[in-house]
């Protein structure tokens, strides 16, 4: 009985050690970084009316003052892939641009504190319908920088 208990103990130790090695060696997503978990409007959403704000929910809190959030209008484009391609080009051109308030569709952030995982980007009033790109570069509190973008559209008739 004592022998079988000892064997069981060592089996448990081995299994635990093996699990630890596997957990260490397995490909890990970069946990702890701030990635977009949800948004409103959602990615690729087609809305019938312009929202008053865009809400971004990140997986980790971000340093708001050291992060960038922008919304830009996009040219009309029927092909969704070409629209995303146009969005990616615009993101590369303007994400870090300064003094671009006139070109932007957003009016800055709603007050959210110095650190937040829930960001609200206010939109300007009387924006035309059409496609828009929401872009961000955020500094998470673990000091890592992540960035991304997504497209949404406003079509009064609800689109095709």
- The span from the CA of 61 to the CA of 35, in Å, is 10
Closest to other proteins by CB, 88 or 120 = 88
Contact 92, 102 (CB under 8 A): no
CA of 43: how far to CAs of 28, 55, 115, in Å?
Answer: 25, 11, 24
73 vs 148, beta carbon nearer other proteins: 148
Least Å distance between CB 60 and other proteins? 13
Comparing CB distances to other proteins, the nearer of 9 and 144 is 144
Cα–Cα distances in angstroms (integers) from residue 26 to residues 21, 34, 46, 59, in the given order: 8, 21, 38, 21
Q: Do the bridges between strand 36-40 and strand 53-63 make them parallel or antiparallel, or are there none, so unpaired?
A: antiparallel
Q: Could you tell me the smallest distance in angstroms from the CB atom of residue 18 to other proteins?
A: 17
- Parallel, antiparallel, or unpaired for β 145-154 and 53-63? unpaired
Q: Which is nearer to other proteins, 114 or 141 (CB)?
A: 141
The footprint of other proteins (CB under 8 A) covers 27, 30, 33, 81-82, 84-89, 91-92, 144-147, 149
- Distance from the Cα of residue 3 to its chain's centroid: 55
Q: State the pairing for strand pair 145-154/46-47.
A: parallel
Give me the least distance between CB of 80 and other proteins, in Å please. Answer: 10
As measured in angstroms, the least distance from the Cβ of 148 to other proteins is 8
Q: How far is the CB of 91 from other proteins (least distance, A)?
A: 5
In this complex, which beta carbon is closest to other proteins, that of residue 122 or of residue 139? 139
């Amino acid at each position: 009985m004592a022998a079988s208990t000892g064997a069981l103990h060592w089996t448990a130790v081995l299994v635990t050690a093996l699990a630890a090695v596997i957990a260490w060696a397995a490909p890990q997503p970069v946990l702890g970084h701030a990635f977009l978990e949800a948004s409103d409007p959602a990615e690729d959403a087609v809305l019938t009316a312009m929202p008053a704000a865009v809400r971004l929910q990140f997986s980790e809190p971000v340093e708001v003052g050291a992060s960038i959030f922008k919304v830009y209008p996009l040219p009309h484009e029927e092909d969704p892939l070409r629209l995303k391609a146009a969005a990616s080009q615009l993101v590369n051109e303007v994400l870090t641009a300064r003094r671009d308030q006139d070109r932007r569709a957003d009016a800055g952030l709603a007050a959210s504190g110095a650190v937040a995982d829930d960001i609200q980007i206010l939109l300007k009033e009387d924006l035309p319908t059409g496609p828009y790109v929401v872009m961000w570069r955020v500094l998470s509190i673990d000091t890592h920088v992540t960035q991304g973008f997504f497209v949404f559209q406003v079509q009064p008739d609800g689109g095709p």
